[in-house]
Amino acid sequence: MLAMPISPARAIAFDVLRRVETESAYADEVLRAELGTGVRTEDAGLATELTLGVLRWQRLLDFLTARCLTNAGKTLDTEVRIALRLGVYQLWFLERVPAHAAVDESVELVKRARKRSAAPLVNAVLRKAAKEAAQLEKSRGALSSLVPASHPVAERLGILHSHPDWLVERWLRNFGEDRARELLEANNRVPAVSCFVVNAARRDDALKSLQQARCRVEPGLLLRDAWTLHGGNPSASEAMRKCWVAIQDEASQAVAHLLGVEAGNTVLDLCAAPGGKTILLARAAGPQGRVTAADLHAHRVRAMAERFETAGVRNVETVVLDGTQPLPFESRFDRILVDAPCSGTGTLARHPEIRWQLRADDLSDLHARQVQLLKNALARLAPKGTLIYSTCSLEPEENELVVNEALGGSEGQFRLAAAAGALRSILREGITAASLADPDGFFRTRTSLHGTDGFFAAMIEHTASKH
């Protein structure tokens, strides 16, 4: 009997998911590499839907799979788990995929992965899952009925919204049940794809290129200079290949604008890779300004330098350094951005794999590194200069607690400034600065409220006079 052909989309999704599982790779980076010009738009769309959908709903998919296993405690090989998740996701979440295609191609994926002996198990489990999905009509209410009401609230929410218990428990404590539920739900919605124009002279060409890649281009959600992309395959566009535009979440773009870089400024981007914010900083500094883009990892610095070259950004110097050590610069900088490595809990809609890779213990380790990064950066801030400390985290240990600790003992040399004033000039009509700044003056965005990643930023000013 001839093997059933596997669609390119399912093959790509399977391979990306296997790399995420076995190498802790970032799904969007692997997908971007796979979805080049040789992939049809339809296949790119389905591959993206399958990959990110499986990662978002992984815990619920495993729960639904276990119901159909004779031995629910059976340890499954990685390739078998991924094939089952792909199959169950299609059966429960995709209306236009025939059940036989979801089942049969998942079986073929296991065979392709040289796990032929597991093919009968995958076939049997998915046929049971298909029957259950059909009987329960795939509704959210039906899914709720499958999780015992006797489960603790955090566990029940964790299964139904596909998050680890420890994270749900933390958000219930920090935000209360209503806001925690909103956050869990928002993390499972497909986020907007946002970009900005790198080369203003190529704006019209960039727009045409994205449209040719079947992207619908609309104004940004928050920022007047951002675009929101719907559908299509932007990775295959000339605009992306030639760096006429850069894909970047609008909250992330806003952080770069918050720094208020002026023409001729000296700027340090301490944790710069992959370089999207650096491009915005360099554009604001102009040809007379000087931007230093630093990162810990040499391969990421090389990739940034290549990106800047392609984009025609000439006023940036790239440096490999460890920002947790005293910074090796003799001069001070007018503007410093510390977009610190963090847990990424504000990006779980865009990077769903993080929820499965992160551990509660990671937060204390990250906090210590973040405090050191901020202290070292403050030491190189020029009098009357401005520093932005930012993360894409929702956790106090990585945000205000870092700022408070780093500023403690500075004896009035630095002060916190309100972010709202710097926001007004960059927001689109109808978006108020107050909606993005909390009572303490910190910049905050929420996925459930703003449709962007969840970002935090503190604006810190050096109070000493220039000599």
Separation of CA 390 from chain center: 14
Q: Tell me the C-alpha distance between 308 and 289, whole Å.
A: 15
Q: Which residues pair with 196 in a beta bridge?
A: 226, 246
Residues 6+ apart with CB under 8 A from 2: none
- Residue 394's nearest CA partner among 432, 449, 334 is 449
Among residues 272, 232, 229, 264, the alpha carbon closest in space to that of 249 is found at: 229
Cis peptide before 274 (omega within 30 of 0): yes
d(CA 107, CA 125): 10
Among 185, 182, 312, smallest CA distance to 245 is for 312
Q: Which DSSP helix (H) or strand (E) runs through 382? A: strand 381-391
Q: If we measure between CA atoms, which residue out of 259, 178, 175 comes closest to residue 443?
A: 259
Rounded CA gap, 184 and 348, in Å? 9
Cβ count within 10 A of residue 74: 10
Active site residue 392: yes
CB-based contact 38:8 (threshold 8 Å): no
Provide the greatest CA pair distance for the chain.
83
> What is the spatial distance between Cα 348 and Cα 333, in angstroms, rounded to a whole number?
33
Answer for the pair 109, 17: CB distance below 8 angstroms, yes or no: no
Query: Is the backbone of residue 243 left (phi > 0), alpha (psi -120 to 50) or beta?
Result: left
Distance CA 31, CA 48 (A): 7
Distance CA 145, CA 19 (A): 33
Q: Which of 68, 195, 215, 392 is the catalytic position? A: 392
Catalytic residues: 392
